[in-house]
Amino acid sequence: RGRSVDTMQLFLGSLTVLCALLAVGHARPERLTRRNDLMIIGGDETTIEKFPYQVALLHFNNFRCGGSILNENFILTAAHCLYDTRITKMTVRAGSTLRYKGGQLFEALNLYYHPDFTKSKLQHDVGLVRLDGALTFSETMQPVPLVPVGASPSVGDTITLSGWGVTKVGDRPPTVLRTVQVEVTRHWSCRLAYSLSATVSDQQFCASASGKDACQGDSGGPAMTAGGQQVGIVSFGRGCASWIFPGVYTDLSNAEVREYIDQVLGGTAEPYTPAW
C-alpha cells in the first residue's frame, strides 16, 4: 500500500509539472539563462566579512561573474564564465563588499575549464582562474572549504547564495554584495522541468524558493551548505525565481567534477587557449 501511495504521488507530481510545462511551452525563451547574464532575487545586502571567499570576475573591467577562493592562487567559478574569454582582459576582485572598488585586484594568469564543457548543454560547468599573484588572507579574504566527495545535498537542505547578480530581471547588477537562501528540490522534478530544453545530470542539483533565486551576474558564485562548505557553483536557469524552473548548480560533491579541480590544482590540467 505504501508503494502504491508513493507511485501515485510521483505520478501526480509529474503530471503537475508536465501540465505547467505545456502551459508555458509557447512562451519558452530560445535559450537557457546563463547566470552570468543575471542577480540575487529576493535577497538582502550583506558584507564581504560574512562571505570572505566571494570574489568578482571582471572582463574588460565590466562585472561578469562571481567566484570563490580555493587557495592563494586559484579561484573557482563556472566554465561558461570563462568560455571565449580573452585572458589578458580578465581580472579578479577579492576582499570587497563592492564589486567595482576596494579589496585586491589581480589579473588572470591562466584560465581553466572542464574539457567536456559545451556552451550549448552546460554540462561539466566548472572552471578555475589562476591569479598572477598570491592573495593575502585576512578577515575579508579566506579560502572556502569544499564538501567531501559523495556528500551530495538532500531534498529540503538550505543553500546560501551570494553575489552581485541583478535583483530584478532586466536591471543593472547591484554594487553591494547580496545573499539569499534557497532549498534543494527533487532531482527528478527538476530534470522533468528542463526536459524540453536541457539535461540535468548527476553532476548537478537544483534549488529554489518562493520569490528567491540566483540571477544574472551570480553565475560562478558559491552555493553553501548550512555547515559553511561550498556544495555547488551557480550554473543556469530559465528566467529568475521561477516556480517551474529551479536554479541549477554544478554539484561539487560529484567525483568527476572534483577530479578535474584536483587536476588543475595539481598542475596536470591544460589551461584554456583561445583559438583567436
Residues 195 and 120 in one domain: no
Q: How many helices (H) and strands (E) does the chain have?
A: 3, 14
What DSSP element (H or E) covers 2?
helix 2-24
- CA 98 – CA 65 distance, rounded (Å): 14
Is 10 a residue whose pLDDT tops 50? no
Which candidate, 252, 233, 241, places its Cα nearest to that of 38? Answer: 241
Residues 197 and 241 in one domain: yes
Which candidate, 234, 170, 226, 228, places its Cα nearest to that of 208? Answer: 234
Does 169 reside within a domain? yes
User: What is the rounded average pLDDT of the residues 27-35?
Assistant: 42
Residues 185 and 100 in one domain: no
Does 206 reside within a domain? yes
- CA 63 – CA 7 distance, rounded (Å): 47
Which candidate, 254, 120, 121, places its Cα nearest to that of 199? Answer: 121
Does 163 reside within a domain? yes
Residues pairing with 54 in the sheet? 68
Query: pLDDT tens, 49-67?
Result: 999 999 999 988 888 999 9
Confirm if 247 and 214 have CB atoms less than 8 A apart.
Answer: yes
Count of domains observed in the chain: 2
Does 149 reside within a domain? yes
Query: pLDDT tens, 103-139?
Result: 999 999 999 999 999 888 889 999 999 999 999 999 9
Residues 132 and 261 in one domain: yes
Residues 115 and 247 in one domain: no
Does 111 reside within a domain? yes
Confirm if 97 and 47 have CB atoms less than 8 A apart.
Answer: yes
Q: What is the pLDDT of residue 186?
A: 94
Does 8 reside within a domain? no
Residues 138 and 162 in one domain: no
Catalytically active residues are 80, 125, 219
Task: Supply the range of the domain harboring residue 85.
Answer: 52-143+257-266
Residues 87 and 117 in one domain: yes
C-alpha cell recorded at residue 241: 525565481
Residues 157 and 234 in one domain: yes
Does 95 reside within a domain? yes
For the chain, the distance separating the N- and C-terminal CA atoms, rounded to the nearest angstrom, is 62
Which stretches does DSSP call E strand in 31-103?
33-34, 44-45, 54-59, 62-69, 74-77, 90-94
Residue 128 belongs to a domain with what CATH number?
2.40.10.10
Instruction: Categorize the per-residue pLDDT at 272 as very low, low, confident or very high, splitting at 50, 70 and 90.
Output: confident
What DSSP element (H or E) covers 237?
strand 230-237
Residues 223 and 203 in one domain: yes
Residues 195 and 237 in one domain: yes
Q: What is the pLDDT of residue 168?
A: 56
- CA 28 – CA 132 distance, rounded (Å): 42
Q: What is the pLDDT of residue 66?
A: 95
- CA 83 – CA 97 distance, rounded (Å): 26
Residues 248 and 197 in one domain: yes
Residues 124 and 74 in one domain: yes
Does 15 reside within a domain? no
Q: What is the pLDDT of residue 142?
A: 98
